[in-house]
Structure formats: C-alpha cells, structure tokens
Structure 1
Amino acid sequence: MGGRDCYHYHLVTRWQLNAPLESVWDAIYNAEAWPTWWPGVQCVETLDRGDADGLGARQRFVWQSALPYRLAFVTRVTRVERLRLLEGRVEGDLEGIGCWHFSQEAGLTTVCFDWQVRTTERWMNLLSPMAEPIFRWNHDAIMCKGGIGLAKHLHTRLQTSATRSHHATGGLGRGGGRKMKPLSLRGPLHAQPSHVVAGLTGITAGTLATAVQMLLWWMGGTSMLPTLLRDAQLTAAIVLGPSILATVPAWRWDILTVATLIHFGLSILYAAIAMLFAYRPATPVALVVGGLYGVLLYGLNLHAFTELYPWFTQARGRDTWLTHVIFGMALIGGCRLFEPQAT
C-alpha cells in the first residue's frame, strides 16, 4: 500500500466520569467486553494475548459506524503503563496509532483517546476531500456513544464528552504525506461543529422529503418524473428567472443542478434553525414540534414566498403539505441523531 493515496486524521476525545480510576482502566483495558457496553463495537477477537501485562497483544475489531459502513482493523498493544497509558498500533481499514491516557483529580477520572490514523480503503480516500467532515462526525458520534455506554456500564454519570481534531491531510501511503504533529491534551475541547450537524441533517431530511413526495405522487396516481421535473424547473427559476418556465426543457442539466443546490441549501438552512430548539423537549414531543415546524415551513415556502415567486402556487396541495410535515420531523430527528447528547 506504499504508493496509494490516503488521508490522515488526528482526533482527540476526552471523557470525564465520576468513577474510580481503577474501574475505568479495567473497563477499557478489557477490550473483549466492549461490545457489551459500547454501541458500534460489533466484534472483538483476541488473536494473541501478549505478555502478563498485555504488551504485544493483538485483537481484531469490527465496528459498525453511525453511517452505513463497517470498519475492521487489528490492533497490537505497544505500550502499557497501568492506570496511566495504553497504546496500540492499528492495521487494516485504518492504519496508525491509538493511545488512551488516564488521570484522576478531585474524584473525577479523565480519559483522553488520541487517534492518529490514515485511511486505506480506496472509497474512503476518494471521498475524503468532500466527506472528511462526515468521517470526523462519524468518529465523534461513535466516541460519544462509547462514553455514554461506559458510564452506564460503571453505573455512574458521564460528566464530559468532547472531541477536537486537526483537519484531515492528504498524502501518500505508508511513509508519505505530511507528518502529523503531536496534539496537546491540555486546553479546552469543543463539541461537534454545528455546521456539520446542520449539513448532515439538511441533506438527509431533504433527500427523505423528495422520496416521500414521489411516493405520495405515485400513491395518488400522479406521474412522478414529469412532476419532479416540473418542481425542479419551478425551483431553478428562482435563480435563472421565470423565463425558463416556458422556453427551456425541464430536464436540462443546468436546471437540475441549480434546483438541487437550492433544495439542499434551504434544507441545510432550515436544519440550522431547527438546531435552536431540537434538543429541548423529549423525543416524542420533539417530533410533534418537528411536524409543526414543517407546517410552518409549508406556509413559508408555498404561501409567503409566492409573493415573490408566484409560479409556486401550482405546487400547493395535500401531498406537498404532508411532505413538509415529514420534512420537519426529519429535521428534528436528524439533529438529535447527528448530535448525540451525553446526558
């Protein structure tokens, strides 16, 4: 793999738990038990137990990420300092070093996980220039769930769960690319950037809304493709002007591109607004609030905006109203899914 392009990631996660240092150490040291309390860890197989302290131990991990893909890699323990440090080298879908740091102060145990890896899967390397924020979010979501799971496992509370990261850097495979600088474990960590959550939520909810709209058309006997192209043309006319409604074929690439950008751009904007109130009520109430938010968006898009863009009046109707209700619920659900809370 020495000549294959890859991307480097450097992420640090900090957990703080109101639990004895020994209990936290034992839970993390015993990786074979991770699947019982860490959501996302599907399998841990011990290949070699190493010496009496675990030095040289090799284990194969299979992770189911928060996104629809799996990662598998083998770790080899390279350093063990009981109650202080546990380090291992990783080979497989990811390559690099992971290091657990442990400390205790004023009754709180702090765990810092320093993850410096590079991707080896070709599809990840191809997508990394665009999807790097999503891959970082995915790591943060898994680590947040791990902190919550560990706290429940130890019958205590997770006081803090936060992550920070260097931007991913492109480079070559083993021995190539830019050298990663050590990341200090001191100083404040920050939670997952809100723009990443808004982007993920908006794109997901926008895609779901399109699928629901087409399903409702099909159930009602409306021709799906012509109606979809019509709505794309109506949307693109916001930027390209209303003249395209009568003179330009709806299937032209520039119309479809502009319509898609507007659709997802508005979806991300509405997701960012939803984040202001998505986390406050309990989940069932939050989904009801999301439905009401969708009704409000329907009024905004199909009534208020028609004062400026009157051609949208033809898109009004029960199907579009219901699609907006589901869209609003998806926005709230997406915000809560993509921004795991440690409470």
Structure 2
Amino acid sequence: MELHMHSHRWEARLPDWAAATAAGFGAGGILMLLEIIMAAATGRDPWLMSHMIAAMVLGWDALQTSGYSLGIVTWALVVHYVLGMAFGVMLAALIAPFHFDSSTGMALLAGAVFGLLLYVLDFYGMSGAFTWFRELRGWSTAIGHIVFGMSAAYIYLKLERPDQAR
C-alpha cells in the first residue's frame, strides 16, 4: 500500500476546458431541477425562477407575468446554462492548478465552497442590480448552490482528461 500526499499549492496547470463547460452545463441542469422541485414543494409557482432569470435580460416586464411562457422559459434556459457553463469553467480554473482533483472528496469540498461563495455573490452581491432575487435568499437556495458546485466538481472530475488540457 502506497500513501500519496498531494500538495494543493498552485501549479501552472490548465483545466480541461471542454470538461469544465460540460460540467457547468450538467450542474446547471441539476440546479434547475432542484429549483423547480423546491418551488413546487413549498407551494410557490414553479415558473417563478424562470421569470426572475429571464428578467436579467428582458427587464422588469418578465416579472409582470406568471406561469409558463415559452419566451420566458427560453430566455431563462439560455441565461441559466450560459452562467452555469461560465461558473463551471471558473471552478475548473481553481480545481486544476490547486490539484483539488486529487480525490473525489477534495473535489466535492472545493465544489461546495465554490457553490456557497457563488450563492453569496448571486444573492447578496448581484442582487444590487437584480433586486428581485433578494426574496430568494435563504437556506434552500444556498443548498441548491452548494449542490451546483459539488455537481460541477464531480462531473468535471469524471470528465477531465488532464493530458488533454490546453
């Protein structure tokens, strides 16, 4: 039995960008499903989050309606997945050079911390520009973002090919 000690000091090492993008996309889908399930479980409109996300592009008009709307859902999906992929790339840009991909546990921990920081950024930082997100602050949303980070890290860990990173 051989014991491997992994240093988590920074090293010039690029992530696998394709794996990072796919991880963000997949984790974005998981978060979206969680948001719909949590909304339905608490009696809220399951399409409320779609209206809030679409309003980032469409403005206040997207918040004036409720229920399902193909245009609102389309814009919400575009914004949600673009942000998910961008955040997946950011997470991978931290995982690779610090060797957080040395174990599943380390990757999940890095993803959980990233998700929590992302929650704080989204719902306390960005809510200055998108004030309608303030009403979603709370444990369920924080847990959803932690799950996003952990999912992105796990998917990245399973898809990455370090020898292919450029």
The interval holding the TM-score normalised by the smaller chain is 0.7 to 0.9
Cα distance in 2 between the residues matched to 1:229 and 1:302: 19
- Stretches of structure 1 lacking an aligned partner (at least 5 in a row): 1-190
Matches within 5 A, 1:62-211: 194=17, 196-211=18-33
Aligned partners of 1:278 and 1:336 also within 8 Å: no
Say whether the 8 Å CA contact 1:290–1:325 is kept in structure 2: yes
Q: Deviations over 1:67-86 (max 9, x none)?
A: xxxxxxxxxxxxxxxxxxxx
Counterpart-to-counterpart distance in 2, 1:233 and 1:302: 16
Runs of 4+ in structure 1 deviating by more than 6 angstroms, as ranges, are none
Conserved in 1, the CA contact under 8 Å of 2:16 and 2:160? no
Residue equivalent to 2:49: 231
Preserved contact between residue 231 and residue 315 of structure 1 (Cα < 8 Å): no
The alignment status of 1:259 with 2:80, answered yes or no, reads no
Distance 1:251 1:261, change over 3 A: same
Residue in 1 that maps onto 2:130: 309
The residue aligned with 2:8 is none
Q: Which has the higher contact order (CA 8 A, sep 6+)?
A: 2
Alpha-carbon shift at residue 275 of structure 1 (Å): 1.1
1:50 is matched with: none
Q: Find the aligned partners of 2:67 and 2:51 in 1 and give their Cα distance.
A: 5
What displacement does 1:213 show? 3.1
Specify the alignment match of 2:6 in structure 1: none
Q: Distance in 2 between matches of 1:202 and 1:266?
A: 8
TM-score (norm 1): 0.40
> Alpha-carbon deviation of 1:203?
1.4
Task: Tell me how large the CA RMSD over aligned residues is.
Answer: 2.2
Please give the TM-score of this superposition, normalised by the length of structure 2.
0.79
Q: Using the alignment, how far apart are the partners of 1:322 and 1:253 within structure 2?
A: 28
| Structure index of larger Rg | 1
Query: Of 158, 162, 166, which residue of structure 2 is paired with 1:337?
Result: 158
Q: Which blocks of at least 5 consecutive residues in structure 2 are unaligned?
A: 1-13
In the alignment, the residues of structure 1 paired with residue 16 and residue 108 of structure 2 have an alpha-carbon distance, to the nearest angstrom, of 23
Using a 3 Å threshold, how does the CA distance of structure 1 residues 251 and 293 change in structure 2: closer, same or farther?
same
Where 1:223 maps in the other structure, the secondary structure is coil
User: How many aligned residue pairs are there?
Assistant: 146
Task: Work out whether 1:278 is the aligned partner of 2:95.
Answer: yes
**More helix per residue: 1 or 2?**
2
Identical columns (%): 23
- The equivalent residue for 2:3 is none
Q: Secondary structure at the match of 2:60?
A: coil
**Map of 1:222 onto structure 2:** 42
More strand by share: 1
Deviations 1:309-337 (A, max 9, x none): 10111111211110100111111112111
For 1:183-211, what per-residue CA distance to the aligned partner results, in whole angstroms no more than 9, with x for missing partners? xxxxxxxx9961x2233111110111122
